[in-house]
Amino acid sequence: MTTDLVRTPTPPMVISDSRELASLDIVGLMQLALEAPDLASGVEPTLNELIDHTAAVGAAYFQAKVEGTSAALNYHVRAGAGELPSASGMQAIAAHGLPAHTPLMRALLTRRTPMFFDDTAAQPQTEGFPELGVVSLAAAPVVGKRGELLGAFLMHTFVPHVWSEAEVRLFSSVAGAIASLIVRLAAEEQASNAREAALRALGLALEARDRETQGHTDRVAEMALRLAEQLQLSTDETQSLRWGAYLHDIGKIAIADQILHKPGKLSAEEFTLMQTHAEIGHQFASALGFLPSEALAVVLHHHERWDGQGYPEQLRGEEIHLLPRIFALCDVYDALISERPYKRAWTHAEACAEIEAQSGRHFDPQVVGAFFALPERHD
């Protein structure tokens, strides 16, 4: 195997023998990566295994990310394990990533196999790493279908170390096996992010038409996520809640302007028409084809009430899915503290008093309890 190895007089550190290394469950690591809810948690077991079976004291996976309007390409830490450098330069890397023009990333861009450096001070490709305290380094590229460098696995030591042939084989085989899954996970993550951005854009587009509720979508989504954390919802439930929050009022796109923009109180007939936005929104969101049922429940049932006096189906108590019960409180709270042509903005204290009064009536008492347990509420 051809590798970039810089030998030093320091003898190799004693590590596990070949039989122990052969016991590494690469198939199991791949299965964990496939079953992981996100890319970072899928990679972390691999990083831990590399540390356990080599002399490396720390390992990380860096992934490419284009930065905002500058379009600068940096590689950010998506997962890490073991001891990472504590030098101030590492804080900058953690915040801003490794720039694409970093010598190591430029070197990996033209490779398909890992690189091994016994002495980072002796090679131009590892410029900057000695200042971080990294003495020896191994790096493996993760290459996309079009040949682009999607990311890199790195593992390191803080003391002189000569990477043994066993370590070279292990790192190369593990990084190569997991890299193929990383490409898939990254593609799935990119698709999910694109969907997320599209859903948020739909919510913001409705805000632009409504004119009275600017910022409402992002505010209620942010508050819903805080409640999701307080109630210890799963990753999937949290995503469904967020997606439902983005689209909760999308059905208002079918409501006439003279009703939607009416400055005063709606008549009974107008209010009946306004209520149809929940079912219309559910039909619209269902047509997207990829939203989970829990997200659709937020769109359809966020105006249901705990006492059964809501709409469109007059569900009561736990007949209403937990996610719309959570979102109902977020939606009402934001409406209370926001100014409208027909009302002033309530203070936080006034809104809290109303929410407390509506516990067991409009709102699920469990959700009300979680709201009042939130640290640093919207004062």
Domain termination site, one of 150, 173, 188:
188
- Among all chains, which residue has been given the structure tokens 């439930």? 237
Q: Is residue 378 in a domain?
A: no
107-145 burial code (b ≥16 CB/10 A, e <16): bbeeeeebbbbbbbeebebbeebeebbbbbbbbbbbbee
Same domain, 256 and 299: yes
Averages of pLDDT over runs of 10 residues in the chain (379 residues) are 41 40 61 68 85 94 73 85 90 88 93 92 95 96 85 94 92 80 69 80 77 77 95 93 93 87 86 93 91 95 97 96 97 90 86 96 97 74
DSSP 125: G
Same domain, 324 and 291: yes
Same domain, 220 and 78: no
Q: Is residue 195 in a domain?
A: no
What pLDDT, on a 0 to 100 scale, did the predictor assign at position 2? 39
What pLDDT, on a 0 to 100 scale, did the predictor assign at position 51? 92
Report DSSP letters for 43-108, one per residue. Answer: HHHHHHHHHHHSS-SEEEEEEEEEEGGGTEEEEEEEEEEEPPP-SHHHHHHHHH-EETTSHHHHHH
Q: Are 50 and 155 in contact (CB under 8 A)?
A: yes
Q: Residue 24 and residue 171: Cα distance in Å, rounded?
A: 11
Same domain, 161 and 253: no
Q: Residue 235 and residue 231: Cα distance in Å, rounded?
A: 12
Range of the domain at 275: 211-373
Same domain, 112 and 250: no
Q: Residue 16 and residue 52: Cα distance in Å, rounded?
A: 9
Q: For 151, phi and psi rounded to 5 degrees?
A: 180, -170
Structure tokens at 224: 């819903």
Q: Is residue 2 in a domain?
A: no
Same domain, 175 and 40: yes
In this structure, what CATH number is given to the domain that contains residue 182?
3.30.450.40
What pLDDT, on a 0 to 100 scale, did the predictor assign at position 143? 86
Same domain, 260 and 309: yes
Q: Per DSSP, which regions of 118-229 are E strands?
A: 136-143, 149-157
How many domains are contained in the chain? 2
Residue 256 Cα distances to 61, 129, 149, 271, 277, angstroms: 51, 62, 50, 12, 11
In this structure, what CATH number is given to the domain that contains residue 255?
1.10.3210.10
Same domain, 184 and 278: no
Same domain, 73 and 165: yes
Determine how many CB atoms are found less than 10 A away from the CB of residue 337. 16
Q: Residue 311 and residue 281: Cα distance in Å, rounded?
A: 13
Q: Is residue 295 in a domain?
A: yes
Q: Is residue 202 in a domain?
A: no
Q: Which strand (E) or helix (H) includes residue 115?
A: strand 115-117
What pLDDT, on a 0 to 100 scale, did the predictor assign at position 377? 52
Domain termination site, one of 156, 188, 220:
188
Structure tokens at 352: 């809290």
Q: Is residue 203 in a domain?
A: no
Q: For 109, phi and psi rounded to 5 degrees?
A: -60, -30
Same domain, 35 and 181: yes
Q: Are 289 and 237 in contact (CB under 8 A)?
A: no
Long-range contacts: 91-94, Cβ < 8 Å, 24+? 93/132
Q: Is residue 5 in a domain?
A: no
Same domain, 262 and 350: yes
Q: Is residue 345 in a domain?
A: yes
Residue of 151, 78, 81, 71 whose CA lies nearest to 109: 151
Structure tokens at 310: 């809501």
What pLDDT, on a 0 to 100 scale, did the predictor assign at position 37? 66
Q: What is the pTM of this model?
A: 0.59
